[in-house]
Amino acid sequence: MWRDAFAVAGRDLRIEARSRVAVNQVVPFAFIVLLLFGFALDPDRGILQRVTPGLFWVTVLLSALVVVQRSFAIERSDGGRDALRVGGIDPAGVFLGKGAAILVVLLVLEVALLAAVAVLYGAPLAGWPLLVVSAVVTTVGIVAPGTIYGALASGLRVRETVLPLLFLPVVAPVMIGATRAFEAALEGSTGAGWRWCGLLAVFAASYTALGMLLFEPLLEES
Amino acid sequence: MAVLGRFPALAGVDLDVGAGSTVLLVGPNGAGKSTLLRLCAGLVGLTAGSATVLGHDLRTGRRELRRRVGYLGHANGLYDELTVEENVRFWARIARVPEPAAAADAALERLAVASRLRDLGVGRLSAGQRRRVALAAFVVRRPELWLLDEPHAGLDATARDDLDDLVREATAAGATVLVASHELERATALASRTVRLEGGVVVDVA
């Protein structure tokens, strides 16, 4: 399983590095979303600073949709999905490998977005340990269901529209937890933040386990 | 029986293929040749009847079976952004071939994929060159059962001869080959038996 996961993650990251979809499309998309939030809410930085955690995670979530769609487009091109199935690859390895590659892309994006919210919204970045840990567990909590529903949707003709419908309601609890944890980190009240972080970790672990179990029927049937 | 959508794609196939033989599947479009190959690859499920491929029951042992078969369909299963070498090495790793880099080099050499092409992205190759690379990625997995769906399509004359030689070498080494082809003259020369399918039913075995 781990061997397959490393092979798939390496392949996806190499394809990402060559195609530059994240750099040329996802990062600009995320910046545009942040800017639009800024225009919509008021240039008054007081409001923007207060809502920075929510805007940050909504932006990450919307970007995750693009990254997940892209990740499964790789499998659809030139019969890649059938080739993987015939190759006898461990489905849990495919789940972990694809999830890991998406995770890396999103974590890099989040670093860029943190810098952007500091500059654009004047958000005071503080509470780094909580900020970093909650970012990682939240991203896993987004990536795990994203990979499950990405695989499910990729077999459908209406995949582009159905993925957000399936995925966004499921990650609503992650958005709440991530926003609270980020608020706590930025305000310096880390006690409550770590509790949210714990809940996020449980969600992320549960969906990762679920994905490892479900990916075989998902690859077979969708 | 195998059902695709609402219609049975295969409804009367009773076929016993011995190890080391090459069986040619012929028939008009929609006869069920591709479905039969996909069934043997474990890509399509049985909806009725029973089938055993390499000793694996197609209802219960598809995952184990897939490690032992190779399927080359109409698509190549290659990634445009990866180089020729990276594509073949990836499939060697997935197939758990010992020393995947060396095995990939040997497969590319065997398929006469020019050295100058190996560091190029597959997306920059012609259709015929892509097919050659797909064959290298197929061969590197060392399958015991070769399932080839129109394998000659898109290949030039030299590559077709190379493919035929590969098939002969594989059967001589004990592999079994099922091939669906409209290139009847060439494929018949390879095959020890010809099976004609029509409407999902075997109508003739010669």
Looking at chain A from residue 5 to 64, which residues have their Cβ under 8 Å from any Cβ of chain B? 7, 11, 14-15, 18-19
Confidence (pTM)? 0.85
A51 in helix, strand or coil? helix
Instruction: Measure CB to CB from residue A14 to each of B70, B77, B86 and give the nearest one.
Output: B86
Q: Are A11 and B79 a contacting pair at CB < 8 A?
A: yes
Distance CA(A135)–CA(A52), nearest Å, equals 14
Tell me if B178 sits within 8 A of B40, measured CB to CB.
yes
pLDDT in tens, B42-90: 888 777 777 788 888 888 878 888 888 999 888 888 999 999 999 999 9
The reported pLDDT for the residue numbered B195 is 83
Closest chain B CA to residue A219: B43
- Ranges of residues in chain A whose predicted pLDDT is under 50: none
How many angstroms separate the Cα of A133 from the Cα of each of A102, A190, B6, B111? 17, 12, 50, 50
pLDDT in tens, B124-141: 988 888 989 999 999 998
The C-alpha of B25 sits at a distance from chain A's nearest C-alpha, in angstroms, of: 20
Q: Does B90 touch chain A (CB under 8 A)?
A: yes
Flag if B66 and A19 touch (Cβ within 8 Å).
no
Look at residue A176 in the predicted model and tell me its pLDDT: 94
Chain A nearest-CA distance from B165, in A, is 23
Closest-CA distance of chain B to residue A156, Å: 14
> Is pLDDT above 80 for B176?
yes
pLDDT at B6 over 60: no
Q: Which residue of A has its CA nearest to B146?
A: A86
Residue B96 to residue A78, Cβ atoms within 8 A? no
Residues 6+ apart with CB under 8 A from A8: A89, A93, A94, A96, A97, A98, A101
Interface test with A, best of B64, B79, B150 (most A CBs within 10 A): B79
Instruction: Say whether pLDDT at B5 is over 80.
Output: no
| Minimal C-alpha gap between A220 and chain B (Å) | 8
Q: What is the per-residue burial (b if ≥16 Cβ within 10 Å, else e) of B10-36?
A: bbebeeebeeeebbbbbbeeebbbbbb
